Structure 1
Amino acid sequence: MSVFMVFLRPKLCLQFCALLTSFIGPHENSPKMSDFGDWYRGIPEITRYWMTGCVTASLLGRVGMFSPYSMLLDWSLFAYKFQIWRPLTALFYYPISPQTGFHWLFMMYLMYSYGKSTETGVFSGRPADFLFMLFFNWICSVIISFATGFYFLLEPMVVSVLYVWCQHNKDQIVSFLFGAQFKAQYLPWVLVAFNLILRGTMIELAGVVVGHIYYFLMFSYPQEFGGSVLLKTPEILYKWFPSTVAGVHGFGSAPEGRRAAAGNAGGHQWGRGQQLGSN
């Protein structure tokens, strides 16, 4: 069944949207529903759009609104059948089954936790820059998919965002399963090993590669090697998602420690071992 068959079921689509609205919208006589709506609206804007797209596409596929085969990133169909939507649908859709359900929920938890922390911390007040990071990581994930052959982009996208956060908070202690605690800089590699053991795949490694490419081009190269900023957010994104802070902080400037030594105390504290927003 083609992905566009979903539009031939308007009644089901309307019912599904109404169901989402019943959870998200305001409910004067339903405190629990209102609490859920407040939680949902409290998710940062770009992360909220990303999560909503992933949850909606995956659940619609789970209930049979379209065939999973119409959503995966199949390069032969992309090239020879001109099914150009596949890189986009592979960004949002992930097949939910009894075998993959827990993994999908785990990825959605990481998306919520580290997408939110990255958007409100590393990119605080700059949703356009965060969106551009997602766009750049998506392009890189698509290219790696072409080389390696994986069909869905959920894992590399989530891990790439997590990697950027971990690089900005290398010495912060994070918790993992069974109460294990370690520095954030090791978390991406723990996830790679964890999924290699449980699922026998290393697709998360693609996310580490993508996240490192972005972090190096946007932060490491300008800050540690004195190079120019190689990535720049398009102006049109600033028009769509205006910044709420003055200037473009932290992009291409010297690391916080060097700025502090030079007597410039402006901006966020990127010092290692400190939580975001701490002094």
Structure 2
Amino acid sequence: MIVTQKRSTQQTSSNDVEEPAGPHPRTLLRCPRQVILKMSEFSDWYFGVPEITRYWFTGSVVLPLLGRFGLFSPYLMLLEWNLFFHKFQIWRPVTALFYYPLTPSSGFHWLLMLYFMYNYSRGIETGLFDGRPADYLSMLIFNWILCTIICLAAGVYFLLEPMVLSVLYIWCQMNRDQIVQFWFGTQFKAMYLPWILVGFNMILRGGGMNELIGILIGHAYYFLMFKYPQDFGGRAFLRTPQILYRWFPNRTNVVHGFGQAPSYRRTNAGDGGAGRHNWGQGHPLGGPD
């Protein structure tokens, strides 16, 4: 009887042992799966961005964040006449293209520039330059060279904002009659969007110079590539260097080089280009998303 009581006591004590506190092992196993799933979704989104836009967007995110965390001096990134010509610091036009000084007062504007870049650069690369990354890169290089010259002369230290505005301006010219939606539900044609942004920046930030430079650059490209060859019967001034085709070959059967305006650049009121879209969306030119 005594032995039986001891065994029953041991069984009772073993059953009363509580499980250790903390998350269940199955829950711990689920967490890595969720993380992997989220990473897979991010990877699908990231590599779904067109190639040239993805490189530009990545550099414009990484460099400002590294500078904000103090990993290098922002002074190394800016574009300045004496440093570029007299001290031969030739990297500055490249770093000034991607870098933007992040401060508590400029953070929202930086996010706005990234938003414009992602939407409008993606819209042009998947629309007008669909399957032709070399031609789109050639457009950006032309804009960048012209932007560097103007900003050096005007004393503008960073190129990100005027470059984004130049791409936005070209998109708006290719979709002139498309209705876009601005703040507070206001709606207007896309051709007016760059000028409205100039007005808003002049009122809210006391600026406007960067936007005007971007409009000038975008108009120069639009005129030389489309307006002059088609409307005035002139020859095409802009050609894509053959080396870019070796680095970024066409993905479809298209004609190398450019200078001929595409037939769909003007949209009629009855086609898809007249549909309403939220402000900032970079849809394929003249058509739905």
TM-score (normalizing by structure 2): 0.79
The answer for the alignment partner of 2:98 in structure 1 is 92
- Answer 1 or 2: higher relative contact order, Cα 8 Å, separation at least 6: 2
Per-residue deviation, 1:165: 0.8
Following the alignment from structure 2 to structure 1, what is the Cα–Cα distance between the partners of residues 171 and 256? 16
Rounded to whole Å, the distance in 1 between the matches of 2:163 and 2:262 is: 26
Q: Distance in 2 between the 1:166 and 1:254 partners?
A: 15
- The amino acid of 1:117's aligned partner reads G
Q: How many residue pairs were aligned?
A: 241
**Structure 2 residue ranges without an equivalent (≥5):** 1-32, 274-284
Give the CA deviation at 1:278: 4.1
Amino acid at match of 2:186: A
What is the CA–CA distance in structure 1 between the aligned matches of 2:262 and 2:124, rounded to whole Å? 18
Q: CA deviation at 1:242?
A: 0.8
Shift of 1:176: 1.7
Partner of 1:262: none
User: Who is 1:113 aligned against?
Assistant: 119
Identical pairs, percent: 63
Indicate if the aligned counterparts of 1:223 and 1:255 stay in contact, CA closer than 8 A.
Answer: no
Residues 46, 213 of structure 1: CA spacing in aligned structure 2 closer, same or farther, 3 A cutoff? Answer: same
Q: Which of 117, 126, 133 is the aligned partner of 2:139?
A: 133
Matched, 1:189 2:195: yes
The structural deviation recorded for 1:51 is: 0.5
- Shift in alpha-carbon separation, 1:141–1:33, aligned structure 2, 3 A: same
Larger Rg, first or second structure (1 or 2): 2
Hey, what does 1:38 align to over in structure 2? 44
- Structural RMSD (CA): 1.8
CA 172–250 in structure 1, closer or farther in 2 if over 3 Å, else same: farther
Query: Which secondary structure does the structure 1 equivalent of 2:127 belong to?
Result: helix
The alignment's TM-score, normalised by the length of structure 1, stands at 0.82
* Runs of 5+ consecutive residues of structure 1 not aligned to the other structure: 1-26, 257-268
Matches for 1:1-279 after TM superposition, within 5 Å: 30-202=36-208, 203-248=210-255, 251-253=258-260, 256=263, 269-273=264-268, 274-275=272-273, 276=285, 278=287
Is the CA contact (8 Å cut-off) linking 1:159 and 1:204 kept in structure 2? yes
The residue aligned with 1:24 is none
| Runs of 4+ residues over 4 Å off in structure 1 | none
